[in-house]
Structures are given as C-alpha cells and as structure tokens.
Amino acid sequence: AQSVTQLDSHVSVSEGTPVLLRCNYSSSYSPSLFWYVQHPNKGLQLLLKYTSAATLVKGINGFEAEFKKSETSFHLTKPSAHMSDAAEYFCVVSDPDTGFQKLVFGTGTRLLVSP
C-alpha cells in the first residue's frame, strides 16, 4: 500500500524567508506525487506534480519540490515566503486504477507566515 507522511503539522516562517515543508512517501513502485494547497474555505489547488521525469519539479507561485528516491522524500520549498502563502499544504501520492485514480493524502502541514 502507498502512503505519505508529512513530518510537520505546523510550520511558521517570517515573510521573505525560505519555506520547507517535508514529505516522505512509501510506495511499492515508482510513485506519482503531488503537492496541493488549500486556502481557508477553498478547494485544493495543484501546486506541482512529479511523474518520473525530472527529479526537480517547478510549480506555481515559486514553489518547487525535489524527488529523492534514496531518501523516499518529496519536500516542498520556496525561496521567499509571501503572506499569501499562508495555507494548508497536502502531500499526495496517486494510486491509479482503471479509468480513475485514488489519492492518498498526507495529514497536512499548516504554513503560518508572519510579517
């Protein structure tokens, strides 16, 4: 069975400082991994996805993630946090099936950004 573990339930940063949100995965085969962001009272928005092409994946809003097979990690980073980045972030692995996919969610990391 596939799973993801988000190592921090909360991360607090100051505006303009780097962001690091940690995610480890467990998969019996080459995984497809996603990061989604959820702002208050909104749905989930796709930030980026890893699909076995480049190991460094660039996403929207300046976020990127690096797939490290040896460490079974897929950490999300951003060089400089903005106040608008404050939200809940989910690391997700895809469990495919015929005609659809099942997503396995991490427990989420709440990012707090202070002025």
Interacting residues with other proteins (CB under 8 A): 31-32, 34, 36, 41-46, 49, 51-52, 90, 94, 96-103, 105-108
Of 99 and 115, which has the nearer Cβ to other proteins? 99
Of 2 and 15, which has the nearer Cβ to other proteins? 2
State the minimum distance, in angstroms, from the CB of residue 2 to other proteins: 10
State the minimum distance, in angstroms, from the CB of residue 44 to other proteins: 4
Of 43 and 115, which has the nearer Cβ to other proteins? 43
CA distance to 5, 25, 45, 100, per residue, from 15 (Å): 26, 29, 22, 39
State the minimum distance, in angstroms, from the CB of residue 41 to other proteins: 7
State the minimum distance, in angstroms, from the CB of residue 114 to other proteins: 20
Strand extents, DSSP E, the chain: 3-6, 10-14, 19-21, 23-26, 33-38, 44-50, 56-58, 64-68, 73-78, 87-97, 100-105, 109-114
Determine contact, residues 90/44, Cβ cutoff 8 Å.
Answer: yes
